[in-house]
Structure 1
Amino acid sequence: MNFKNFPMVSKVVFGRGSFNQLEEILLLKRLNVNAPFIFLVDEVFQGNEKLTSRIPLAYEDEIIFISAAEEPKTSQVDALVEHIILKFKDRPSGIIGIGGGTLLDLAKAVSIMLTNEGETSAYQGWDLVKSPAIYHVGIPTISGTGAEVSRTTVLTGPEKKLGINSDYTPFDQVLLDPELIQDVPTQQWFYTGMDCYIHCIESLTGTYLNAFSQSYGEKALELCKEIFLSDTIDKKEAEDKLMMASWHGGMSIAYSQVGVAHAMSYGLSYLLGTKHGLGNCIVFDHLEEFYPEGVALFKAMKAKHNIELPQGLCKDLSDKEFNTMIDVALGMVPLWENALGNNWNKTITREKLRSMYELM
């Protein structure tokens, strides 16, 4: 039997104020004065001197501000790569993503596509990347998605929403500074935190479960319960622990998989543009049949933080639109296998998925 030989993030810094070490970290990685570092930064920080003034720019380095209002697209990656190739004489020294899952996924994808020919959509799938990515760094400013630690970069392409899953995707360096997540709005904090929680539930109840995944998943789940249900945890402690929950939650699916909520939320995201964390919450809220204990706890967390999820997203969809969502969801075969085993398609028919989407 062949066991998967997964790569992990090779270097990580954790601690309040550790963002200030970025200059020191990058100094050793600059190839030459004509090889810039490209900083892909969530546009919510545009004009925010508290963060942008601390980005260590030198020589030809560039900050590109990017909206995270929509899920990252393959066409967006192609445009960024073209901009970089046309503007700079030398290949960049590195790509640094600063933001939530969208910015981290874009940074991973751009670093891959600078060394691999063709369009990004051609690499959506498992182990299709041929050449190593350039040096890339992830700095999360929202915690929960696990994008900082995963070997995938989830992108919406012209035909599907699917990750570039490869050994070259993980970051070379991650910088975890809990101070960077202190101003996240409550709803966004909840949705991304629940992405982490749902990672844990789907990993820990899946058929792919093993001791490796279980050890990370159980720790992440314990942290999520403390963060989202405790009355005694203070804000700083919650920020520190959410960063660790996100890391452990991402690791829990490295040697395992997610499940029903993620498969169905890909359909919502592809058709309606629903953000990943919110989409997971909308779907998971209706999955008592598959995760009874996990959904009950989710509803308790939702009530504690006064979160009201959008209703009726699918009420006016046409048959064609339902079929598009169903096609995307059914394409996530490893997720269904993890959730329900090899005979998952006896349970998950097109009619079953349609009836489930109609609840949303």
Structure 2
Amino acid sequence: MTLSTPIDVKAAKAIGPLPAGHPPVRIGKIGVMLVNLGTPDGTDFKPMWRYLREFLSDPRVIELNRAIWYPILYGLVLTTRPKKSGANYALIWNREKNESPLRTYTRAQAEKLSQALADMPNVVVDWAMRYGNPSTASVARSLVERGCDRIVAFPLYPQYSATTTATANDQLFRALMKMRAAPAIRTVPPYYDEPVYIEALARSIERHLATLDFEPEVVITSYHGIPKPYFEKGDPYHCHCQKTTRLLRERLGWSEKKLMITFQSRFGAQEWLQPYTDKTVEHLAQQGVKSIAVVNPGFSVDCIETLDEIGREAAETFHHAGGENFAHIPCLNDSEEGMAVVEAMVRRELSGWA
């Protein structure tokens, strides 16, 4: 069936010609949409304000009552945070493409996946952001317009959380609610314990450590945190992170003292998942540990939280507390190991369709 094949040629002839200006009905393709968290369009105040407003207005991200949260959001957060966050983004901004690294890497993943799936000519690969551009809704519409009556959506979060995977799926289904002829949907489940993912992490770590001129005494797996009450309400994220680190520890043959787990990026006054990355890094240095490395297994690609918060802020914290050697191990990104994970997960979910 080709891209321009009508749903039913005979039925269409019986009904008569489509109204003037009506787009042709196209089916027979399968869309694959890689979905990442999101990115601002620029580092200036306005694009940062738009991005942060969309992100921090999501009720799955901030579960406070709107009557309590919105005055804080609009009266305090959105008047001060855009400038500060924009300055941090400017430190890691891809000047050549005028975009954030997260957008650069996610696009590269989609392009390489498309090449890897060349044996499936009816599969169309694209990429989208939950917050910011290209929006999930616009990419979903584009895939349908290109003839996709089935879509595999891949939220690029190895460990499930309602604040990430669920909100990405929410946004896709909100887009489908506005479609007259909505496509069938499959969503890729979390892959925190998939052998291909654990192996990719292990190889990436081993490869990067081999390039260092020092041997870390401790390697930290630092995950984005969530508020502790979210975990207590049943979010499985903490358990997924723990299992990823345990499996990675077993694969590398390291002890719990050698490969630690921490949580970063806390926001607001309430307690988040512990131990905190910044406090742990500082404590290790104060204890006399001179060399550490940090890896971010929960991020599919490098972004502000890895390149700046870990690569700069955590490194400064460690050095100021007496540490000497600090290394940030890059995310899987569009590396050979990273693409092996993406391709394996997508091919599995395409089974029976392509």
Regarding TM over 0.5, the answer is: no
Q: Which has the larger radius of gyration?
A: 2
Higher relative CO (Cα under 8 Å, sequence separation at least 6) belongs to 2
